[in-house]
Amino acid sequence: MSDNKKSSAPLTESIATALASLVGDSQAERPRAPSHSDLTFLLQTHGLDGPDPAKQGSTGKAKRVRTVLYWAIEFDREAGERLVAAIVSQVRGKGGFRPDSENFVGVDAIRNLTDAFRSEGYELAPDGVLRAVLLDSMSGAQLIEALQTYVRRAKTGASDAALVTGTGKDLLEAVLGHILTERVKGYSASSNFPSLLASVFERLGLALPMPGQHPPAGEPAQRQVERSVFELAIALNRLRNKEGTGHGRPWNPSVSNSEARLAIESMGSIAEFLLARHAEYR
């Protein structure tokens, strides 16, 4: 897993298609920046020049971007996500988001990309600045939708979904806070993570660990699964690089790339389970 110091953004088929339209200029009166040479530089910088169709002959910029990003979705999503962020920055730097610029990409292209990013929990501002949607000011259905977006991204191993960008909370902490806010009058977020997790498990009717005790005879197997989920959540929280939250790699330096990916996907699965249980268990 790459160091998060390199900017990245979500990558889906919708985003790949919208971003290709953003750089394509076949309908324009004159070629717009970024140029073909700009794209070649970006593809080489991010190690994605291999699937570039321009190597096989002349082709349009939209086809180059779409082909490479679709390839990245299948074979190297992390590199593709870095390329997405780089292309958006390139277009912004060339004036593509300014209506008075000769490189303005057009209202429809910007709107389509904005909608594609929004469905993945990202906000594309009118000036082209891309940022993760912050959760602190959200509540109700809007917050649930945003959390579910982070869950989906975490389950694909997306590193930016492990930590809720712009806050001190990771995905699991954000989900716990949401559940307790809806279930506990006067809930305070000052408790530590194990206490918050135990409170949520109790209120959702989930089994808690039984240190030094044997499970009751004949207990359903899902109760053991629930206890294992609790222990895994505690371990994932301990694995966090707390001093590095929001700045650089979110995991302790000793964590390997494969372990980090497992941790991120596990956070997504646990968060999804708790949100579903919260919706079901009233």
Residue ranges per structural domain of the chain: 13-132, 140-280
Q: State the average pLDDT for the chain.
A: 88
3 state SS of 220: coil
Alpha-carbon 235 to chain mean position: 21
Q: Where are the beta strands (DSSP E) in the chain?
A: 122-124, 130-132
| CA geometry: angle 140, 175, 254, nearest 5 deg | 150
The rounded distance, in Å, linking the Cα atoms of 9 and 90 is: 14
Question: 119-138 in b/e burial notation, b at 16+ Cβ within 10 A?
Answer: ebbbebeeebebebbebeee
Q: Are 236 and 263 in contact (CB under 8 A)?
A: yes
Helix (H) or strand (E) holding 121: none
Helix (H) or strand (E) holding 214: none
18 pLDDT tier (thresholds 50, 70, 90):
very high
Residue 2, pLDDT score: 38
Q: Are 222 and 230 in contact (CB under 8 A)?
A: no
Residue 139, pLDDT score: 81
The rounded distance, in Å, linking the Cα atoms of 217 and 114 is: 55
Residue 59, pLDDT above cutoff 80: yes
Residue 214, pLDDT score: 85
Residue 165, pLDDT score: 57
What pLDDT digit, counting tens, does each position of 107-127 carry?
999 999 999 999 888 899 999
User: At residue 240, what is the residue type?
Assistant: R
The reply to whether the predicted model has a pTM over 0.85 is no
Q: Which residues pair with 81 in a beta bridge?
A: none
Q: Are 189 and 168 in contact (CB under 8 A)?
A: no
